[in-house]
């Protein structure tokens, strides 16, 4: 519990985590599944504006556009939506205010639904439902960010479930750190390519994008570059990816229950009976370090953080670097 209090104040470290979480961090460092070789620097503590500017400059939102091999050879230039994600809602126009709703158990009994739905655009993750939870999480979904397991694992019923209909979809999967697209295409974590092609053909009018793995690893580089210790050599969580995605599309971003409120709980997801502190503090994903970086960019009050689990971030268009 103490580590979350320090996290809210921005001064937590891996040594504060429970021993089993520290152990799995060390195991992932040793495993280095994605062949991460970081050669960048490690900055000392940067100010809010410095972190915002570094993210804005280093992490360029990018989706597969079918112009690179092997995707160009597969006709993906005609398969992807004709309009780039950044221009989907009008060229150069940004949402005024956006919500990012994490799936954390701590959002239960928050009564944040009305506030969340008051934002112009709302991003949700993976299989997180709104039905039955409207009072706490709202019911508007503009974008759903999904990992490759959602597309590939039968239990998610990606093709038939209503969870994935009537919104913009953005999918991602970890490629090797070198961003070798051919190796990634041949050996993704979960095969997202086949279901993506299939859905594009079946529902050509639904905007549906795949994030470029370069973007994912640029985010990782910024997290490591702002952390003194070695972070897990695995991609950031969907939560962090979604936050930066919305910072690219919105003038202001409000994130709910990413840094936990006083409702903090080991309940992993608000919609499942599964308890695991790793969901909040990280095992595979470098969650603790992502959250420390987001804490540093936060312009909302400690009161909002404690009562709502809310962080407010300036969108990239609104920061002058
Ligand atoms: O588990 P899933 O990835 O679908 O959840 C969406 C995101 O919400 C995570 O990637 C993570 O950033 C955030 N989350 C969290 N704490 C939890 C559960 C999810 O911060 N207990």
- Ligand 1 pocket, mutate which of 163, 244, 279 (most atoms under 8 A from CB): 279
Residues in CB range of 318: below 8 A, 6 or more apart: 251, 252
Tell me the domains of the chain and their CATH numbers.
2-37+50-318 (3.90.1480.20)
Q: How many angstroms separate the alpha carbon of residue 129 from the centre of ligand 1?
A: 13
Q: How many angstroms separate the alpha carbon of residue 308 from the centre of ligand 1?
A: 16
Rounded CA-CA distance 176/198 in Å is 24
- Quick one: pLDDT band at residue 60, thresholds 50, 70, 90? very high
How do residues 133-150 score in pLDDT, each as one tens digit? 999 999 999 999 999 999
With beta carbons less than 8 A apart as the criterion, state whether 247 and 313 touch: yes
Question: Per DSSP, what are the bridge partners of residue 275?
Answer: 267
- Quick one: pLDDT band at residue 125, thresholds 50, 70, 90? very high
How do residues 175-204 score in pLDDT, each as one tens digit? 999 999 999 999 999 999 999 999 999 999
Q: What is the pLDDT of residue 92?
A: 86
Atom of ligand 1 nearest to the CA of 237: 10
- In the predicted model, what is the mean pLDDT of the chain? 97
How do residues 199-224 score in pLDDT, each as one tens digit? 999 999 999 999 999 999 999 999 99
- Element holding 289 (H helix, E strand): helix 287-297
Q: How many angstroms separate the alpha carbon of residue 215 from the centre of ligand 1?
A: 19
Instruction: Sort strands 168-172 and 121-125 into parallel, antiparallel or unpaired.
Output: unpaired
CB atoms within 10 A of CB 320: 8
Whole-complex ipTM: 0.99
Q: How many angstroms separate the alpha carbon of residue 295 from the centre of ligand 1?
A: 16
- Quick one: pLDDT band at residue 112, thresholds 50, 70, 90? very high
Atom of ligand 1 nearest to the CA of 125: 6
Q: How many angstroms separate the alpha carbon of residue 77 from the centre of ligand 1?
A: 32
Of 154, 39, 79, 111, the C-alpha closest to 270 is 111
Atom of ligand 1 nearest to the CA of 285: 10
Residues in CB range of 154: below 8 A, 6 or more apart: none
Exposure string over 65-99, b if 16+ CB within 10 A, otherwise e: bbeeeebeeeebeebbbeeebbeebeeeebbebbb
Atom of ligand 1 nearest to the CA of 105: 21
Of 252, 243, 247, 227, the C-alpha closest to 57 is 247
Pocket of ligand 1 (CB under 6 A): 102-105, 125-126, 237-239, 258, 268-269, 279-280
């Amino acid at each position: 519990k103490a580590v979350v209090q320090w996290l809210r104040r921005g001064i937590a470290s891996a040594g504060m985590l429970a021993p089993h979480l520290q152990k799995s961090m060390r195991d992932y460092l040793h495993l280095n599944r994605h062949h991460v070789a970081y050669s960048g620097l490690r900055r000392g503590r940067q100010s809010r504006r410095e972190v915002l500017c570094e993210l804005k400059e280093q992490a360029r939102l990018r989706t597969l556009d079918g112009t690179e091999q092997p995707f160009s050879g597969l006709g993906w230039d005609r398969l992807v939506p004709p309009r780039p994600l950044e221009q989907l809602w009008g060229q150069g126009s940004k949402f005024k205010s956006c919500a990012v709703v994490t799936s954390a158990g701590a959002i239960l009994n928050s009564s944040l639904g009305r506030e969340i739905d008051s934002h112009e655009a709302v991003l949700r993750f993976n299989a997180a439902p709104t039905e039955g939870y409207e009072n706490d999480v709202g019911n508007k979904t503009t974008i759903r960010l999904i990992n490759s397991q959602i597309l590939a694992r039968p239990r998610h019923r990606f093709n038939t479930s209503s969870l994935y209909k009537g919104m913009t979809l953005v999918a991602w999967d970890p490629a090797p750190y070198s961003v070798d697209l051919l190796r990634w295409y041949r050996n993704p974590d979960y095969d997202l390519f086949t279901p993506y092609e299939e859905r594009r053909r079946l529902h050509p009018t639904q905007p549906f994008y795949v994030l470029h793995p370069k973007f994912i690893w640029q985010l990782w580089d910024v997290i490591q570059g702002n952390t003194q210790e070695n972070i897990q050599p695995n991609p950031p969580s969907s939560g962090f990816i979604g936050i930066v995605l919305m910072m690219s599309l919105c003038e202001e971003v409000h994130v709910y229950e990413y840094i936990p409120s006083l409702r903090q709980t080991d309940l992993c997801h608000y919609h499942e009976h599964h308890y695991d502190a790793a969901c909040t503090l990280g095992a595979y994903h470098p969650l603790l370090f992502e959250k420390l970086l987001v804490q540093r960019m936060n312009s909302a009050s400690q009161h909002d953080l404690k009562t709502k689990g809310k962080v407010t971030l300036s969108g990239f268009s609104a920061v002058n670097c």
